Amino acid sequence: MARKGATKKDRQWVSLKPLSVVFALLLVAVMGTFLTAKLNKGELLPIKYVRLEGNLSYIDRAEIKAEIGPLLEKGFLALNMEMISQSVRQLPWVDSVHVARIWPDTLQIALAEQKPYLKWGHDAYLNKRGEQFASSGRAVSEVLPELFGKNGQEKVLLEQFEQLKEALALQDMRIKIFRVTGRQAWRLTLENKTEVLLGRDQPKVAFERFIRSVPLLGEERLQRISRIDMRYPNGFAVQWKETEFNKVGMNSFLQDVKNV
């Protein structure tokens, strides 16, 4: 109801005011829809540059840009940063990723690359956390020790590898291959190509006996041994690289190690 004493003009203004508010709201809604559509199509503030940061040796930069290309079509303000991050993180050799917008037209991607610590099986690697990642056909330049085992046991086997590595280092020996079979039998191949069979019943005990035997074997004999089988409870068997070993040397050797 118009106030008392109001003129006809005043009464018309009062009646038109609600219509003006409705019109303004509709205009805002239409403009919002229009701008949202433009942003989603990337027509407003399109992404012009993708900046990749990080010391990258194995990550394929072109592969990253191809992977995230469709996600950049929505433009600067409509980017789904979490989706971009997930898309990059699942690519080969990516350890971690952080994405950020740089006004007004740049997407920055900071990358940390996987650092291979051991070769896992025939076509994968482990990092120092015991996490497996695929090689994707990209071989590392350095020669890494090899670890063979059952998937899911990577962290346990890495811990065991470190213990063996530390004990062998005290004897100036290094592991080339550490293999744990499906039956949990342990086998080592040292850098000098000597195989050490440790078995599955008490492989750690067998390994400790091997370490105690190293000083008695001596460096010269170790270089001539092809395989040492530590699976015997009260001794071990040796296979020599030569077809036969000097009998005097053999007898002396067996006398030395009979109480190991």
Query: Domain segments of the chain: what residues?
Result: 49-113, 118-257
Using CA atoms, how far residue 138 sits from 93, 109, 116, 135, 150, in Å, is 9, 22, 11, 5, 22
Tokens of 30: 């239409």
Name residues of the chain where pLDDT drops below 70.
1-43, 242-260
- Could you count the other beta carbons within 10 Å of the beta carbon of residue 86? 12
pLDDT of residue 233: 86
**CATH number for region 49-113:** 3.10.20.310
Residues with Cβ < 8 Å from 83, sequence gap 6 or more? 71
User: How confident is the model at residue 30, as a pLDDT?
Assistant: 43
What is the per-residue pLDDT for 251?
Answer: 46
* Class for the domain spanning 118-257: alpha beta
